Amino acid sequence: MSSDTAMPDLPETNYINAEKGLKSWLTTIDHKRIALMYLIAIGGFFVVAMGLGFMMRLELLNPGEQFLDGAAYNRVLTLHGVIMIFLFIIPSIPAVFGNFCLPIMLGANDVSFPRLNLASWYFYIAGAIVALFSVAAGGVDTGWTFYVPYSANTDANVMLPMFAAFLLGWSSILTGLNFIVTTHRLRAPGMGWRQMPLFVWGIYATSWIAVLATPVIGITLVLVLIERYMGIGIFNATMGGDPILFQHLFWIYSHPAVYVMVLPAMAVVSEIVPVFSQKRIFGYRFIAMSSIAIAAIGSLVWAHHMFTSGMADEGRIIFSFLTFFVSVPSAVKVFNWLATMYKGSIKVDPPMLFAFAFIFLFSIGGFTGLLQGALSVDIHLHDTAFIVAHFHYTMFGGTGVMFFGAMYYWWPKMFGRMYNRTMAYVGFAMFFVGFNTLYFPLFIAGLKGMPRRYADYLPEYHSYHALSTVGSWIMVTGILILFANLIWAIKRGKRAERNPWGGATLEWAVASPPATHQFDGPPEVGEPYDYKIPHLGDDESAGSGADEGKA
Amino acid sequence: MDAAAHDTHDAHDEPHLTPYSVYVGIWLALIALTGVTVLASVVDMKHQAIFVALFVATAKSTLVVLYFMHIAFENRVFWWFLLSAIATFVIFVLLTFADYAYR
Ligand SMILES: [Cu+2]
């Protein structure tokens, strides 16, 4: 922090200080500023929802009631789920890093529809405000899945959180649309589909899911409201409706939404692994196509959430069968990452640690998911703590971890400052140990019959819950250290070079932080994973020890 | 904006102009189809009514998408986008009936 103004690499005006004042932010159409506004909102909501999760763990420390009664626990649980799913995980990586990096990686100065991009942010904020308003209006205890018939009959005001989800859905549809058009139309001259960075492929596949599947949840939530307030029987059996239809419609969106959450995380891993192995990505085309395959197959498996709902056996067998297929493209990615690392010169910098954590945690999440995909086993596991452990391993161990990883990878680009490495290692270690201490015992408790969504439990589950709660203390401490380190870096961190990691994608060719218009003309497009390009090397020793990889 | 510049260059080399008569014709067709809906509500068709309603809805939306939304005159890529949406919808319905058909 001594050489604050002395680094030659830094432009005096960049996208952050190009304009001043709150109004300049709220009316900006610069994709990088919009990304920062998302980052602030999404990061804030993550901390709030993490606090709620922390409270639930505290309540579960001992059997019996500590400080939340059953009704309050249900409300906290719903709020934790709604915020984490709709306000954090679904937008997280695409809205922040997709917005920031996708145009730059394509060699464009902005997305195709910059104003629509800002409108998406306002949809997000409007949805967030409505969701918070629902808390003020007494809260909701339906869980984030809003299952009928309960959600159509409860006294709680479910209209508000459903309307919030509806608005947030619009935000993801419009963002997805923007990214699809940008990818098709704004690639720099010379960048064909096979020269696109894999991050762009991942975000592109994600955008298609968002555009095609999100309308289903919007319509479904409107149908619930129509049933509730106009008395038209759609889901209510006493009015001639079918409650299982709600579950179909809900999961038609919400299973693909799982891939809206995790594909961007895989996309970040696909950037980090080759850069920190300094080796060309192995199987570029397989990784790119597996994103598309996940998007397609992932849309055909939704009813695996409904095996105990009373749907037809034939339907259950078909969906169980299809579910196993979706693990194939995910495994393709993991094998390609490992093959990329093989014989690479691996640098274990903080971003790479997060990528390792992703592969480890997501693999546990994925394999336990296959267990639940098996029809017979799922009958036993359904609605137990096993499920809670499973989806936290995939969603948090997957997307959450790579959201942190993406921050630790692109932070020097976004703010032109480097965080403290030691604190990054300390924070990561506490996070990783805490994470496994928190969630792994829930697998065992669940196998032994501990139901999910319960505020209380029998004494025989005490040791698992106590261990899990202790894990939450360690993990939250680690996360706070990780966040504090980044916030500290914005003001106090050492100046970061243009290309601190030796990456070869285009965002490392522009200044840190980039200027509002990052490219003066069409940039020179090279191979995104060739670490021997001299003009990107800076004074860094990028490419040292790079191996002859085959794509 | 880059985007606008890009669009006018390669997407619409020669912008397609639809004569007003076509728009008026489509509008009249839509009104006629609404008339069919009204008629169908008067005649008692039991279960067949659902097919009439679906036919009218499909015909109307096809006309709107093709002419009012300009898809009939657009680049091939927009057809692919439209087809992928329709295919998704068809798959969702078919798979849902893997449950309903057997229950
Ligand atoms: Cu699923």
Closest CA to A107 of A43, A7, A196, A239: A196
Could you read off the pLDDT of A447-478 as tens digits, one per residue?
Answer: 999 999 999 999 999 999 999 999 999 999 99
CA A268 to ligand 1 centroid distance, Å: 22
| pLDDT value of residue B46 | 76
| pLDDT value of residue A347 | 92
Closest CA to A92 of A361, A365, A404: A404
Please answer yes or no on whether B101 and A314 come within 8 Å at the CB atom. Answer: yes
B28 domain-assigned: yes
CA A176 to ligand 1 centroid distance, Å: 21
Residue in A with minimal Cα distance to B10: A185
Across A133-161, average pLDDT: 83
Confidence check: pLDDT of A4 > 50 = no
C-alpha A75 chain-centroid distance: 24
Q: In total, how many domains does chain B have?
A: 2
| pLDDT value of residue B13 | 54
Closest CA to A322 of A343, A296, A347, A348: A296
B8 domain-assigned: no
CA A301 to ligand 1 centroid distance, Å: 7
Which tokens go with A123?
């949809």
Please answer yes or no on whether B99 and A111 come within 8 Å at the CB atom. Answer: no
Distance from CA of A505 to the nearest CA of B (A): 21
Could you read off the pLDDT of A341-398 as tens digits, one per residue?
Answer: 998 889 999 999 999 999 999 999 999 999 999 999 999 999 999 999 999 999 999 9
Query: Rounded CA gap, B26 and A450, in Å?
Result: 61
CA A19 to ligand 1 centroid distance, Å: 44
Query: Rounded CA gap, A497 and B37, in Å?
Result: 67
Confidence check: pLDDT of A523 > 50 = yes
Please answer yes or no on whether B84 and A208 come within 8 Å at the CB atom. Answer: yes
- Residues in chain B closer than 8 A to A299 (CB atoms): 88, 91-92
Residue of A114, A216, A312 lying closest to B99 (CB–CB): A312
State yes or no: ipTM above 0.90.
no
- Residues in chain B closer than 8 A to A114 (CB atoms): 1, 3
CA A251 to ligand 1 centroid distance, Å: 7
CB of A493 closer than 8 Å to CB of A248:
no
Q: CATH number for the domain including A354?
A: 1.20.210.10
A13 domain-assigned: no
| pLDDT value of residue A551 | 36
A304 domain-assigned: yes
- Residues in chain B closer than 8 A to A315 (CB atoms): 98-100, 102-103
Please check whether residues B61 and B90 belong to one and the same domain: no
Confidence check: pLDDT of B10 > 80 = no
What pLDDT band is residue A241 in, cutting at 50, 70 and 90? confident
Higher pLDDT, A184 or A12: A184
| Range(s) of the domain holding residue B32 | 18-69
Please check whether residues B22 and B48 belong to one and the same domain: yes
**Backbone phi, psi, residue A417, to 5°:** -130, 150
| pLDDT value of residue B15 | 67
Please answer yes or no on whether A311 and B99 come within 8 Å at the CB atom. Answer: yes
B94 domain-assigned: yes
| Range(s) of the domain holding residue A447 | 22-549
CB of A141 closer than 8 Å to CB of A75:
yes
Chain A residues with CB-CB distance to B under 8 A? 108-114, 181-182, 184-186, 208, 212-213, 216, 244, 248, 252, 299-300, 303, 311-315, 318-319
Residue of A186, A252, A300 lying closest to B6 (CB–CB): A186
In the numeric block, the tokens 């086993």 are attached to: A377
Confidence check: pLDDT of A172 > 90 = yes
- Amino acid in the structure at residue A190: G
Residue in A with minimal Cα distance to B83: A212
| pLDDT value of residue B45 | 76
CA A306 to ligand 1 centroid distance, Å: 9
A177 domain-assigned: yes
Please check whether residues B50 and B91 belong to one and the same domain: no
CA A258 to ligand 1 centroid distance, Å: 7
Please answer yes or no on whether B92 and A114 come within 8 Å at the CB atom. Answer: no
CA A537 to ligand 1 centroid distance, Å: 43
CA A38 to ligand 1 centroid distance, Å: 27
Could you read off the pLDDT of A414-433 as tens digits, one per residue?
Answer: 999 999 999 999 999 999 99
Chain B residues with CB-CB distance to A under 8 A? 1-3, 6-7, 77, 84-85, 88, 91-92, 95-96, 98-103
DSSP A188: P
Residue of B2, B84, B103 lying closest to A108 (CB–CB): B2
Distance from CA of A530 to the nearest CA of B (A): 28
What pLDDT band is residue B102 in, cutting at 50, 70 and 90? confident
Confidence check: pLDDT of A299 > 50 = yes
Please check whether residues B64 and B87 belong to one and the same domain: no
A189 domain-assigned: yes
A344 domain-assigned: yes
- Residues in chain A closer than 8 A to B12 (CB atoms): none
B53 domain-assigned: yes
DSSP A418: E
B2 domain-assigned: no
Across A242-255, average pLDDT: 91
What pLDDT band is residue A42 in, cutting at 50, 70 and 90? very high
- Return the number of CB contacts < 8 Å for A and B: 61
Please answer yes or no on whether A212 and B77 come within 8 Å at the CB atom. Answer: no
CA atoms within 13 A on the CB side of A331: 8
- Residues in chain B closer than 8 A to A252 (CB atoms): 92, 96
A3 domain-assigned: no
Query: Rounded CA gap, A428 and A475, in Å?
Result: 9
Confidence check: pLDDT of B8 > 60 = no
Average pLDDT value over all residues in chain A: 90
Could you read off the pLDDT of A58-97 as tens digits, one per residue?
Answer: 999 999 988 999 889 999 999 999 999 999 999 999 999 9
The pTM of this model reads: 0.89
What pLDDT band is residue A3 in, cutting at 50, 70 and 90? very low
B48 domain-assigned: yes
Across A104-119, average pLDDT: 96
A246 domain-assigned: yes
Residue of B3, B98, B99 lying closest to A113 (CB–CB): B3
Confidence check: pLDDT of A166 > 50 = yes
- Residues in chain B closer than 8 A to A375 (CB atoms): none
Please check whether residues B47 and B80 belong to one and the same domain: no
Q: Which of B88, B91, B93 should we substitute to test contact with A (largest number of A Cβ atoms within 10 Å)?
A: B88
Q: In total, how many domains does chain A have?
A: 1
Helix, strand or coil, per DSSP, at residue A90: coil
| pLDDT value of residue A277 | 93
Residue in A with minimal Cα distance to B9: A185
CA A210 to ligand 1 centroid distance, Å: 15
A63 domain-assigned: yes
In the numeric block, the tokens 């894990």 are attached to: A471
A273: burial class by Cβ within 10 Å (0-12, 13-18, 19+)? buried
Please check whether residues B41 and B81 belong to one and the same domain: no
DSSP letters, A481-529, are HHHHHHHHHHHHSEEPPS-TT---SGGGGS-SSPPSS--SSPPPP--TT
- Residues in chain B closer than 8 A to A216 (CB atoms): 92
Please check whether residues B63 and B101 belong to one and the same domain: no
Please answer yes or no on whether A110 and B3 come within 8 Å at the CB atom. Answer: yes
B6 domain-assigned: no
